[in-house]
A and B are shown apart, each in its own frame.
Chain A
Amino acid sequence: MSSSNNKISALGQTLRTDWQLYLLLAPMVIWFIVFLYTPMAGLQIAFKDFSLFKGIYGSTWVGFEHFQTLFNDELFLRSIGNTFLISLYSLLFAFPMPIILALMFNELHHAVFKKTAQTIAYLPHFISVVIVAGMVVSFLSPTTGIVNLVLEYFGFEKTYFLTNPEYFRPIFIGSTMWKEAGFESIVYLAAIAGVNPSLYESARVDGASRWQQIWRITLPSILPTIIIMLIIRIGNLVEVGFEYIILLYQPATFETSDVISTFIYRVGLQGSQYDIATAAGLFNAVIAFILVYSANRISRKLSSSSLW
């Protein structure tokens, strides 16, 4: 009792002497409460029959009814499957790419070429997804797109790639890689820059080839960074660039392109079924949290690197 009283008086003391510090902190804390924590209270409508008139707090509880609806909804189940497949494929193909690029940049000894190559590689990151989608649409257009013109020249048939579900994932992952792989390599280049140069010198004296130096020195040295990026990536698995998917997908490709976030967007924001969409969102967020938590746990067991 007295210790908590002491704490309170100590807090009062620092508030008096350090009020300026708390004043500086206040806008940020208020912002987080208003824009990120208040919506968390809104999550309760996942368990309510939400009515616009009664509001979030006045609506009646319905328990897990919305979750039952969702898990009987083939479209929702399909979106879960698509989310995991797209994530899995981008983990397999898009995740290693920036690592490989960073290793390649690092082996480039011509300074001007190196700088030019990096400048160009980073550039697409600064282009909006709307423009990237515009470029993809324009390149893949069935009548005038350059890809189809080339296919036609070599005697193949023209294909409307964007209406064919089979092509959606390669197009999505490929264009995302075009946009981000170069820029993501920066993080690994930063890690490589931190490797102790004497390691390379002694390896060279021992006669290690450049290939061996990459495998024996560079890769092991940047492994902690790779693991942290992997954990972050796993945490974002269920997010899968939905802002970009919305631009690129159409009803004809929903079969392979509709992910949980785009499902929430259509059902919630376009269809105004707020409660069901919130339930889907909550499911999404909980899975994301479990994924990043377990990835972190596993990584802490296997190696020394972890996010917390």
Chain B
Amino acid sequence: MSGFNLYSRGDKVFGVVNATLLTLFVLSTLYPFIYIAASSISSGLAVTSGDVLLLPKDITFAAYDRVLSDPVFWTSYANTLFYTIFGTLVSLAIIIPGAYALSRKRLIGRRYLNFFVAFTMWFHAGMIPFFLNIRDLGLLDSRIGILIAFACTAFNIILLRNFFESIPESFEEAAKMDGANEFTLLWKVYIPLSKPALVTIALFCIVARWNGYFWAMVLLRDEDKIPLQVYLKKIIIELNMDDQFASSLINSDYSFETIVAAIIVASIIPVLAVYPYLQKHFNKGIMMGGVKE
């Protein structure tokens, strides 16, 4: 490359401005996390008086003691794990065979079946008919209801179907030659070949299950069944409106703010723990089939 001037002065200025703006963007993305983490281990008084901006002050774990001693917090945490693990398994058990069958060119009525799935991306009955349907099915306030009623999305099925379609048909022919039926073909050939796509879809399911709150809030009445996000909503949003509760906490070791911060940190930690693994895969997954021209 010597002798060939790759970048002019204008290009260099451009590069510096670009890097600076991105640095600012990254810092503003990061700052709320840092602030919440710092508040969670600061004294209630320090947070209330505005001494905590970046670094924690008067370090104390009082807020965590208070949060972690609430049995409902642990119940909801366990429920979220349950909904996430089994919900994802239910989703995959329906999505994988369905997407596989849709990807077979000889499937009769394939065009109609594809439309049958994709149509729900553009039109759905809406909140109330969906709710009444769940009620009529007897799935109100039911753990099983939460597991199955949110198992599929058209988007995930189409993503996986596209991936299966991209696998050369010669694999199928070879396996059929060896006497494989559809089940062994899917299990022994297509699933192992589709690992990146399957991991991506599993991740989408996991993230949706872990973060879902709205329908859990609407469908579950029993406190023993609520997931973490519904518990968080009760503490963070509802209690915030309750001035009396908030002011009753000020001036002790912890305040309403530090408790909220501690709850947020406690519920983000698992996400952060699996995040590096997540990131490795979704990049690839989205590139694969999210948008097709």
The interface of chain A, by Cβ under 8 A from chain B, is 10-11, 14, 18, 20-22, 24-25, 27-29, 31-32, 34-36, 38-43, 45, 56, 101, 104-105, 107-110, 113, 116-117, 119-124, 126-131, 133-135, 137-139, 141, 143-144, 146, 149, 152, 178, 182, 186-187, 190-191, 193, 204, 209-211, 224-225, 228-229, 235, 243, 246-247, 250, 261, 264-265, 268-269, 274, 277-278, 281-282, 284-285, 288-289, 292, 305
Contact = CB atoms under 8 A, between A and B. Distances in A.
Contacts of B129: 39-43, 45, 278, 281
29 contacts: A11-B108, A24-B97, A24-B98, A25-B113, A29-B98, A32-B152, A34-B137, A36-B125, A39-B132, A41-B129, A42-B132, A43-B126, A107-B18, A108-B18, A110-B19, A121-B25, A123-B275, A128-B232, A128-B267, A131-B264, A131-B267, A131-B268, A182-B29, A209-B11, A210-B7, A210-B14, A225-B293, A235-B122, A278-B129
B162 interface: no
Interface in B167-222: 181-183, 186, 207, 210-214, 218
Nearest to B19: A108
Nearest to A121: B29
Q: Which of B117, B126, B127 has the most CB of A within 10 A?
A: B126
B233 A130 contact: yes
Interface in B116-162: 116-117, 120, 122-133, 136-137, 148-149, 151-152, 157
A232 B245 CA distance: 43
Contact of B32 (A18, A135, A190): A135
B104 interface: yes
A170 to B, nearest CB: 15
Contacts, number: 261
Interface string B249-290: 000000101001101100110010001001100110011001
B50 A146 contact: yes
Interface of B: 6-8, 10-11, 14-15, 18-19, 21-23, 25-26, 28-30, 32-33, 35-36, 39, 47-48, 50, 53, 93-95, 97-102, 104, 106-108, 113, 116-117, 120, 122-133, 136-137, 148-149, 151-152, 157, 181-183, 186, 207, 210-214, 218, 229, 232-233, 236-237, 240-241, 255, 257, 260-261, 263-264, 267-268, 271, 275, 278-279, 282-283, 286-287, 290-291, 293
A87 to B, nearest CB: 16
B14 A107 contact: yes
A134 B181 contact: no
Contact of A127 (B21, B25, B268): B268
Chief secondary structure at chain B's binding surface:
helix
Contacts of B93: 27
Given A39-B124, A107-B14, 12 more contacts: A32-B120, A40-B125, A43-B125, A43-B126, A120-B29, A122-B279, A124-B29, A131-B236, A131-B264, A190-B290, A210-B15, A246-B214
B290 A281 contact: no
A14 B105 CA distance: 13
